[in-house]
Amino acid sequence: MTKCKVLCASVLVLVSCSRAPSDDKVPDKDAGAVDKAADEKSHAVNEALASLAEALNARDPKAISELFTPTGEFIDADDNVFDSHEAIAGEFAALFEVNPKDTVELAAEEIREISAGILSVDCVATFSGAGDSETEDIDFSAVLVKQADGNWLLASVRSEGEGNLRTPHARLKQLEWLIGEWIDESDESTMRTTTHWSDDGNFILSEFTIHMAGRRVMNGTQRIGWDGSLGKFKSWVFDSEGGHGEGIWTEIDDRWIVKATGVRPDGNAYSATHIYEPQGPEAYRFTVTDRIVGNETEPDLNETEPDFTAQVVRKPPEPETASTTDVTPRSK
């Protein structure tokens, strides 16, 4: 474990006694005050970090948030900012859902006084698992502000590395290429999909609509999130006919393989393998294989195409409609 290391400013000024011919030296009157001030700052930082470590190890989001000033902020390694007690508590609650129950120790490495009552601190968080000799150090910085009652609160904490504290949002950036509007058209049907971040940034949401012969036959939603217990992405799908399912996502050779299971509207269970294969920023190939409905294998579509494959492309922007105000009338 990394032991607590605090670099305290310490000054000792030695002067010669002008009234004595000897070499005896007398300490400056201010030296003690300087040492005392440095000790007070060091003590304040150590107390603040000890309280934060206690709340982290207790996995108590509310206690963590209350160590911040009312306008304090937590900034994660991806520069996402959480700038209220509610937002900070919500983010740490999400972190605890997807991260192992590691033990953390916090230590200050350097303390700088920005101005009276404001300290900037370079810190390190050391994570260790139960019964695991391996540890991981994550750098972070903090700004502490002295309050009117003499207590010190965190005005800002910024993570300098991801390590064990990776947010669901940070993990989902691997699937960020899905964000946008997509279309899959064939002679028989058209499927349109709109994908976006959830308001809290911890899920990717999709709404899809299927039309056949110009008539809408089905619509539905999909939600993709991080499952910390599996260490994988998980998706949930619900359609307008009453069917529902879920999938476990695994990346293999630049493709995302989804093992999907669910229940169809008629009550039959189904399973299949879905494959997402990105083809640049504007398209991806979607394949469905290994289909089983009930207790029987789903028949192949045809002899030459045993699997269902679709080429999904990003929806082009709508053409701009010329405004009548932009037309210059002809001269007669």
Please give the structure tokens belonging to residue 1.
């474990």
Report how far residue 292's alpha carbon sits from residue 272's, in angstroms, rounded to the nearest whole number.
6
Q: Are residues 40 and 73 in the same domain?
A: yes
Q: Say yes or no: 22 and 154 in one domain.
A: yes
**Residue 196 bridge partners (DSSP):** 205
Q: Is residue 252 part of a domain?
A: yes
For residues 27 and 159, membership in a common domain is answered with yes
Contacts of 321 (CB under 8 A, 6+ apart): none
In a domain, 228, yes or no: yes
Q: How many CB atoms lie within 10 A of CB 61?
A: 21
Among 115, 142, 163, the domain-final residue is 163
Same domain for 273 and 244, yes or no, is: yes
In a domain, 8, yes or no: no
Model pLDDT, residue 156:
96
User: In the listed set 103, 134, 163, which residue is the last one of a domain according to the structure?
Assistant: 163
Instruction: With respect to residue 43, please indicate whether it lies within any of the assigned structural domains.
Output: yes
In a shared domain, residues 35 and 99: yes
Residues of the chain with pLDDT under 50: 1-26, 163-165, 301-304, 323-332
* pLDDT for position 28: 58
Task: Give the integer Cα–Cα distance in Å for 228 and 132.
Answer: 19
User: Per the structure, how many domains does the chain have?
Assistant: 2
Tokens 């001030």 sit on residue: 37
Q: Would you state the pLDDT for residue 37?
A: 75
Q: What is the largest CA-CA distance in the chain?
A: 112
Residue 144 and residue 52 in one domain = yes
In a domain? residue 325: no
What is the amino acid identity at position 234? K
- How far from 183 is each of 191, 219, 243, CA to CA, in Å? 6, 14, 22
Phi, psi dihedrals of residue 107, rounded to the nearest 5°? -140, 145
Q: What is the CATH number of the domain that holds 280?
A: 2.40.128.20
Inside any domain, residue 330? no
Instruction: Please tell me whether residues 153 and 191 are part of one structural domain.
Output: no
**Which structural domain, as residue segments, surrounds residue 310?**
171-314
Identify whether residues 138 and 178 lie together within a single domain.
no
Distance CA 165, CA 148 (A): 33
Residue 81 domain-assigned?
A: yes
**Which of 111, 55, 108 is closest to 85 using CA atoms?**
55
**Does 203 share its domain with 289?**
yes
pTM > 0.75: yes or no: no
Same domain, 206 and 102: no
Is residue 156 domain-shared with residue 123, that is, in the same domain?
Answer: yes
**Within-domain flag for 90:** yes
CA distances from 75 to 116, 274, 301 (A): 24, 36, 51
Q: Residue 8: left (phi > 0), alpha (psi -120 to 50), or beta? A: beta
End-of-domain residue from the set 163, 186, 212: 163
Residues 49 and 134 in one domain: yes
Q: What is the DSSP pairing of strand 308-314 with strand 296-297?
A: unpaired
CATH number, position 63:
3.10.450.50
* Nearest-angstrom CA–CA distance, 198 and 101: 26
- Asked if 182 contacts 195 with a C-beta cutoff of 8 angstroms, the reply is yes
């028949």: which residue's tokens?
Answer: 299
